[in-house]
């Protein structure tokens, strides 16, 4: 019995977990470099959804998440800690073509795709990564650095959990609404702390 549980756990750890979508991840890794438009997070996600649907990938459970700050920190901007090419100069830029390392950035809002607990974000780091929602939010927003640790704008983990809001929209319905030029549907609105629980 113990051996069979160990084998099952081992297989899931090799494959990530049951919710993995290898075809979608493959397309995301390709699109991350080919189709990225800086400062257009919503458009990047909608176009990724459109290309994924055209390939016949299962997006039934896909959600578009819009992240905003409903508090007063940074005048209502959200503070990302691991944004694409937003950090220090990359010492290997001539080799890999990336000018800056991932770093801190502030935005009015941010849009990502969530499917079965995994986050697809074109602005996360300099390499395409699909992470669980818990790992993603930890690294992208909650791993806040004080000035003494190299950060620029320290808000604090608890403040972000309390004031950052997640607007959840059904992915395919939102794509259709955009194509038909009508209001995007909202299924729920949660504070970050609620969303992660």
Give the pLDDT mean for 92-100.
72
Reported pTM: 0.85
pLDDT value of position 13: 41
Query: Over the stretch 151-194, which tens digit does the pLDDT of each residue have?
Result: 788 889 999 999 999 999 999 999 999 999 999 898 899 999 99
| CATH number for the domain running over 22-196 | 3.10.620
CA pair distance 101, 16, nearest whole angstrom: 26
Beta strands in the chain (DSSP E): 63-69, 78-83, 103-107, 110-115, 118-120, 130-132, 164-170, 188-191
DSSP helix/strand/coil, 107 = strand
Domain ranges of the chain: 22-196
* Neighbouring residues of 183: CB distance < 8 A, sequence distance ≥ 6: 177
**Average pLDDT in the chain:** 88
Residue 80 CA: distances (Å) to CA of 36, 85, 92, 154, 169: 18, 12, 23, 11, 21
Position with higher pLDDT, 100 vs 42: 42
The pair of structure tokens assigned to 161 is 């959990």
């Amino acid at each position: 019995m113990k051996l069979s549980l160990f084998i099952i756990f081992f297989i899931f750890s090799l494959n990530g977990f049951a919710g993995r979508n290898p075809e979608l991840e493959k397309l995301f890794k390709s699109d991350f470099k080919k189709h990225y438009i800086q400062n257009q997070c919503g458009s990047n996600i909608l176009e990724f959804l459109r290309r994924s649907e055209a390939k016949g990938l299962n997006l039934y459970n896909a959600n578009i998440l819009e992240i905003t700050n409903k508090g007063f920190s940074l005048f209502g901007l959200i503070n990302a800690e691991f944004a694409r090419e937003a950090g220090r100069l990359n010492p290997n830029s001539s080799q890999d073509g990336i000018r800056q390392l991932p770093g801190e950035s502030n935005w009015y809002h941010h849009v990502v795709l969530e499917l079965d607990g995994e986050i697809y974000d074109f602005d996360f780091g300099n390499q395409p990564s699909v992470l669980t929602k818990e790992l993603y939010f930890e690294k992208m927003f909650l791993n806040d650095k004080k000035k003494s640790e190299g950060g620029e704008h320290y808000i604090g983990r608890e403040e972000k959990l309390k004031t950052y809001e997640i607007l959840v929209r059904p992915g395919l319905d939102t794509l259709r609404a955009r194509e038909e030029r009508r209001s995007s549907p909202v299924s729920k609105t949660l504070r970050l702390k609620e969303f992660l629980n």
